[in-house]
Every structure is written in C-alpha cells, then in structure tokens.
Chains A and B, each alone.
Chain A
Amino acid sequence: MPLAVVLILLVVGSIIFHILSPWTFTELASNWGMVDLTFDITLYVTGFVFVVVNLFMAYCVIKFRYKKGARAAYEPENKKLESWLAGITAIGVAAMLAPGLFVWAKFVDVPEDAHVVEVVGQQWHWTFRYPGEDGKLGEVDAERITSDNPFGIDPEDPNGQDDIIVYNPEAHIPIDKPVKFLLRSKDVLHDFAVAQFRMKMDLVPGMNTFLWLTPTRKGRFEILCEELCGIGHFTMRGAVIVEDQSDFDTWLANQETFSEHNAKAKGDPVAGATQYAVCATCHGAQGEGVLIMNAPKLAGQSPWYLKRQIMNYRNGLRGTHADDMFGRQMIGMVATLADEAAVNNVVAYIATMPDNPAPATITGDVAHGEKLFRVCAYCHGGNGMGNESLNAPRAAGMSDWYMKRQLQYFKDGVRGAHLQDFYGFQMGLMGATLQDEQAISDVVAYINTL
C-alpha cells in the first residue's frame, strides 16, 4: 500500500515540479521556435503516457495486492488488447516523429541568402572569420597554422586576403538575417552551442560542419563548448552578439582583414626604449620588477601577453575593479602610450631586456605546489614557460609575489570579471580551483623552482 501511495505521489509530484519549475528553456532568440513546439508535442504525449501507465500500475498495486485466499487470474495473453496497445503506441510515436522530421528538413535546407560566419575552435577558445567584400573565405590548411597566421589561411589565395579575422571569442551578427555558421576545428572536437538559438553542432578537425539560424532577438548570447575537448573544456566560452545591421557594419569595419594583419608593422624596440622610460620608474630600467613599487618583472614575459594586458588596461577590461588598486594605477600609466603601434614598440623593447629570474619571496609547500601545478601545466607548460596558442603567459622566473596577488584576484573575481576579458575569465575558473591562500603560496613556491 505505501508503494501505491508513493507511486501516485511521485506522478503528482513530478507534474507539480514541472509546472512550478523555474528551470525552463531559455528565452528563444532564433527562428527555431519550431524546435520548442516539437518539444512541447513530445512532452505532452510522453507526459500523458507517464501519468496513465504509472497511475494504472498504482491502481493494480492497490487493487490486486496480496490477500490470503485470493487467486490471480490466468490469462496467458490477449492478442486483441496487445494489438490495440501497439497500434495506439505507433500512432503516438508517429505524432512525435513527424514534426521532428519536418523541422529537421528545414534544418538541412540552408537558405540561399544566408551569410557566412566561420567559427574556428581550438583548445580552449573560439575565434571567427568573416568573408570580406568578395563574399568568399580563403583556403585554409592546418599545416599552415602559426602564431602569425592562427587561422592557417593560404597567403597565396586571393579570396583570403580580405577575410576578416576575429581572434577573440566574441562574434557579432545582424538581427533577422539568416546566418550559416561554418564550423571548423584546429585540434580536437568542440561543439558550438548557444542555448537561446536551440541549435548546436560539433566542430570536427579535418572537416567542415555547419548550422544555420536567423537571430530574432538582440543581445549577448553565450557560446558554450559542449563536446568534451580536454581539461579546459568548461572554460571554453564565447559570445554571439546580435545587433542591428548598422551596428554590425560598424563593428565589422573595425576588424582586421587578413592582409591588414600581415601588413602590420612589427614593434620597433628603439622607438619603444623612449616610451619605456615611464615604465622604468616602477618596473625598473631592465624590467626586472620592483617589489616596493608593486611593479612586477616584465623582462622575459611573453610579448603577446604584455601587449594584451596593456590593451586591456587601455580598453577598460582590466584594473577597473574597485579592489584592484594597483591595476587602477596602471590605467593611468598606459595612457602615456599613444596608440597600438606605441604598445607594439614598448613590448618589442621589453623583449630585448636581459631575462634574469626574479628573486623568490614566497615560501610554501613545494611538494604540494607541484601537485597543484599539474593542472596549471596543461596550459602554462610543464616548465611554466607559457604557450601563446593557449593564451597562457609565462609563469616561471617571474615575480612570485605578483603571481600570488593575481591568483588571489582571479579567485576572488577582482580580475577576469569583465565580460570581454575572455582569457581572464578562463583563468578565473581555473584560479577558483585553488582552495585558499596557502594553496596559492604552495603553487607559486613550486613555480619558483622551475
């Protein structure tokens, strides 16, 4: 008897849970409302079966529970009943399948006028490529991928010259225009999923896949990677920004084309030397870092990383948090660098400085730190030298007190909180895995031994 009551309560409870649940599909932002409709049809059909069969079972458990002297009926089979049940089930299944196939037929049929956005995945970030004015994407090849040509575009291909490359995980698309996302991966499987769009598809290295949709709502929609792609899988985030055509055009015009990217002047260390004079007051003439000035060592740090951080300060992505006192100081200082070329110059100058390991100031349990560092090593390398393709800067031989402070910042959300500080956000997720200050000291103490 309790079993029957529980079965009834579970059925009723499940329905109530479903009705009261605040956890529903996210608000739709694409043309795929039909997916939701198909879902609803299936939900009602299956929900009906769930309720009826389970309530009938509960009824049987009550009505036919063991009674002394009672005897079960003897009925090996009932062909008529079984055929009826099979027939009704088949109809129910068809009712669920038909709309599903109908919608799928729409999915495989990409509208002719859909504009193309290429999504390129790699461990563990998203990048994008838009065809330029010629409307064609240039040929790509995995073997051509370098840090200067991260998309592996064929430099000889005329179609590729005007390709617009977006080397960060935020894509823009105009509202109400059908878009075909061409999906491509450089290394492992990834999956391009935006909950509000309802569609998702894997990125498969060695081949191109696609999905298409028409965005119907403006806003910023997060991309999550939904195919396990290694230890950083859960940090592989991005965003699609749906905006008016005019905003989109403005944004697109500000992005770099492949040929612009190639033609860009490299930094000039001689010019950088003069600009570095300002930096030298805190960071030291040789970029060796000065603890009492709270200025970390710069010499030997990965140039792409220095540039990104300077740009982040300039663009308000870093140092804006109320608790980041020293970061706020930096905002004022980087303002002395007039433009991107100046930043390139100063970074180029820093690259010429002698690289001596920063003095160790943090002590901790090195053995424990070594264990913790195993996770860090996936991106920053076993030797802590960093890896540009993973957006991981060098850690070994840099100012340990500074790393400790930054790890604490990442953990507390002081750094990496800005929506567009994508890589800082990743480090925030990773930094949070360090339990406490002691763990941070331990891992930094281990990095000192590298």
Chain B
Amino acid sequence: MKSAIQVLKEQFNHFYLVRRLSLYEIKSKNKNNYLGMLWEVLNPSIQILIYWFVFGALLGRAPVEIDGKEISFIYWLMAGFILWTFFFQSIIHGSKSIYTRLRMLSKMNFPMSIIPSYVIFSQFYVHLVMLGISIIVFQFAGYYINVYFVQLFYYIFAAVCLTFAISLITSTLSTMIRDVHLLLASVLRMMLYVSGVLWPLSILKEYPPIILTIIKLNPLYYLMEGYRISFFGSEWYLITHWQYTLYFWVVILVLFLIGATLHVKFRRHFIDYL
C-alpha cells in the first residue's frame, strides 16, 4: 500500500517530465525513417486493412449488431483495433522500458516508476491521433457523434490505467528475467484472438456459456466493448453493466498493488540485473 502511494506520488510530481520525455521518445523512434511519425499511424492502418481483407472480405464476416443497430464489419473492426494497437504497443514497449533505458538514467534519484508511464504516454499520443482519424471516418460512414460519446473519455482513461498497471509488473519482471518479455510477446499474440478484437463474441452463442464468461474475465474485453458502445451504441455501458465495471476496477487495483510493490522492492537493484 505504501509503495502504491509512493508510485502514484511520483507520477503526479513528475508529470511534466513524463510529458516531455514521451515526446522525445516518439521523436527518437522515428528519426531514421523519411516519413517520420506518419508511420505510427500508417502501421495500424495497414494492419486494419489486412484483417479486414482476411476476415471481412475473404471470410465474409456479417455486420455486427450493437444495441439493435447493424454496424459494418470494417468499422466495427476499426473501433476495436485502435484500442488493440494502443494496448499491444504500450505493453510491449512498457515491458522492456526499464532495462533498455537503465544505462542512460545514470542517476538514482530519477524516479524509475515514470519510465513505463512515459513510454505508455508516447503511445498515447499516437492513440489520440488514431482516435481522431477514426471519429472523422465514422462521421462519413454515418455513425454520428452523440451523447454516448462522452463515455469514450472514461474508457480512454481506463485503458491508460490498465496498461500502466500491467507495465509496472512486466517492466520489473522482465528487467530481472529477460524471458518474461519474450513470453509476453507470445501471450499478446494470443490475446488478439480472444479479446474480441477480430470477431464478435456473439458467434460463440452455441458454445457453453462458461467459455464466454472466461473470455469476459479479460479486462481488455471490458474496454473493447466500452469503446464500441461509445462509438456505435445507445446505452451507458459502464452503468448498465456495473458489476463488470466493478470487476474491472478491482482487477486494476490488484494489478497496480502487485506492480507497485514489486517495483519499489526491486528498483534499487535493477542495475545489478543488467
């Protein structure tokens, strides 16, 4: 508990640093390519097109129904996939954030817990741009901004919380045991298929309900549903499914407590693991 408060305090006290460092982060990553930061947007766009081609065009996925409305598969996919890209990139880069930067941070009084957060933040800018583009596309496709859009801010915040809580754990563990990072990459690959990014869970109707419940235990699924409801739906998802909301925040809290405890316990010795 004490370490959790300490980590939170560091986040707030050094928020300026998080913002500045995250900008350098994107800059240094895209310094070598001619199109620069455009790649941050191009990459996920190309991926969406590929998945749309495979699942939508080749396998002929039917439109998905949300709150009684039919949503074309491509738009449905897009709404989930931008969240997925943010989640995937943040977790992957967050996990290796500490051990790849430790040498550079030659000072101990640098608050280590902001390393994963500024890496996540650099992804967050990209996410905001992607969201902006998607919203514009949805306007042309006929899914207009309405009052339920307000929920989106809540889900964006929740997504940042989830990625930070997970990254706090994985960045500590993968600094100590490098294999964790490799394992994580494999697990994430699987997550893409079971988090409801590429296909709606409604096609599981004929299977025993227990499978659906297990899939819903994944906190990312809560966010997926939330994003899509905000774009296309007509309900206040976080209130109508308040048990699920409660479950989500309990999971975040537990993950964060574990992460903060691990981080504070081992951070003094990170350099010994290099």
A and B co-occur in one complex: no
